[in-house]
Structure 1
Amino acid sequence: MSTFWSIPTQDQPLEYQGAADREQVLSARDGFCPQPAPQGWPHDPSFELEATYRLIHALRMQDVPILNPAIRVEAVGFRLWQGCWAGVMVTPWFINLMLLPGSMPLPACRPGDETRLLLPEGSDMPFIAGHEKAIGDYLMCSLFSPLPQFADHISARATADEVLKLLFTPPAAPAADAPDLSRRRLFGLGTSKP
């Protein structure tokens, strides 16, 4: 009997036949999600992230009580930032900010190590290093886990979009021609008269 595997989609569950156990299916997933090049992802890794986390959901997360069945797997808003791919990963068990190597490597960390990164809006955020065979090394910052506060996937995705907007929008520089509203200036103190 031949072995058959297929990647689950949002509407189609994982199918497998002939696998001795779940670990055999897990090790086979590398054929579906190409490993990133050692120097990093040359393209947006959203497709590979979604495929990998759908498999994790189907194979490792069954019967885990923290799953929110209203939430599905989705990679949201991945973009290049400082040579790395940054975006939010939404799954039924977490919403995490994730970084993957692009043209630049991630900071050197072993899986489980914590590193802190300064994001464009000025927050110093803690990231935990991780590794999955199908996607390679990554850094993740937990935003929500578990997800009981989300009634549906639309609200989870909207939250991911808002997080990206807040974290990756640099603070606005003060306008050069803004009026000086200091108390001394308002009351005419400290000004020189011509």
Structure 2
Amino acid sequence: MTTGIRKAAFQAPRPAPAEPISDNPAARLEAMYRRIWLASMRDLPFVNLALSVEAVGFRRWQAASDPTSSSGAGPYGEAAPRSAASRERSSSDGLLGDWVGAVITPWFINLFIVPGGGDLWSDRPSGERCRLVFPIGPLEFIADDDASAEVPAYQYCPLFAPPGQFASQAAARAGAMAALNAMFGMPDEDCPRPAAEADPLLLPARRRFLRRVARR
């Protein structure tokens, strides 16, 4: 009997190396998802019509410089975070890091990584998962790419899909920023919240996110 390694019936082709995006990708992501919203999503029954497309909190971030914990190490592509001082040295050396932020749409709220020339990003076939380590701990991201899109390559971590628990764009924005601040280990007071809104579903957003991370 011949033995061998079992392979999936379909494997997505490995994409061409992603071109780093030098400017903040928020506007490109908003244009891309507004186009998708108008073309194919706005009539679906599960969308939250209180929400609109918005990219929030995008900043550059570097992975670890230690080669034993680089983005290509381990079965999930784990990468450990650098200290703030290390990231500052990287910026002064011209290694500005990849873009990390969140995108809000009427059908999801996700964390995103977009290539910016740093060492957090690694090229992966569409649908492949990789685990990256941030101050909060490891998070699993899913690769996606479309060579013709406004942002040809990105990786995303689902937060809320669909985001039906948010009653307004302000609530969704605050929930996304709470998740980002938790991911980067920032204190609660650094998270902007809408002054005139006391949405009870918004207040546990950070705790729900932390529980989701703990289950991974």
Asked if Structure 1 and Structure 2 have the same fold, meaning a TM-score greater than 0.5 normalized by the shorter chain, the answer is yes
Deviation at 1:169, TM superposition (A): 2.3
What is aligned with 1:111?
A: 126
Deviation at 1:156, TM superposition (A): 0.4
Q: 1:63 aligns with which of 43, 48, 56?
A: 43
Specify which structure has the higher proportion of strand: 1
- Secondary structure, in 3 states, of the residue corresponding to 1:111? coil
Distance in 1, matches of 2:184 and 2:135, equals 5
Partners of 1:70 and 1:92 within 8 A in 2? yes
Flag as ranges the 4+ runs of structure 1 deviating above 3 A: none
Distance in 2, matches of 1:65 and 1:49, equals 23
After superposition, the C-alpha distances for 1:113-147 in whole angstroms (9 at most, x for unaligned) are 111111122x2111100113220110000000011
After superposition, the C-alpha distances for 1:25-59 in whole angstroms (9 at most, x for unaligned) are xxxxxxxxxxxx95311010001110110000000
What is aligned with 2:168?
A: 152
CA RMSD of aligned residues (A): 1.7
Number of residues paired by the alignment? 134
Q: Which amino acid aligns with 1:146?
A: P
- Structure having greater relative contact order (Cα 8 Å, sep ≥ 6): 2
TM-score by length of 2: 0.59
Distance in 1, matches of 2:18 and 2:56, equals 24
- Gaps of at least 5 residues in structure 2 are 1-16, 63-96, 188-216
Identical pairs, percent: 41
Q: Which structure: larger Rg?
A: 1
Distance in 1, matches of 2:182 and 2:55, equals 17
After superposition, the C-alpha distances for 1:60-100 in whole angstroms (9 at most, x for unaligned) are 21321111000010000000011110000000000000000
- Gaps of at least 5 residues in structure 1 are 1-36, 172-194
What is aligned with 1:162?
A: 178
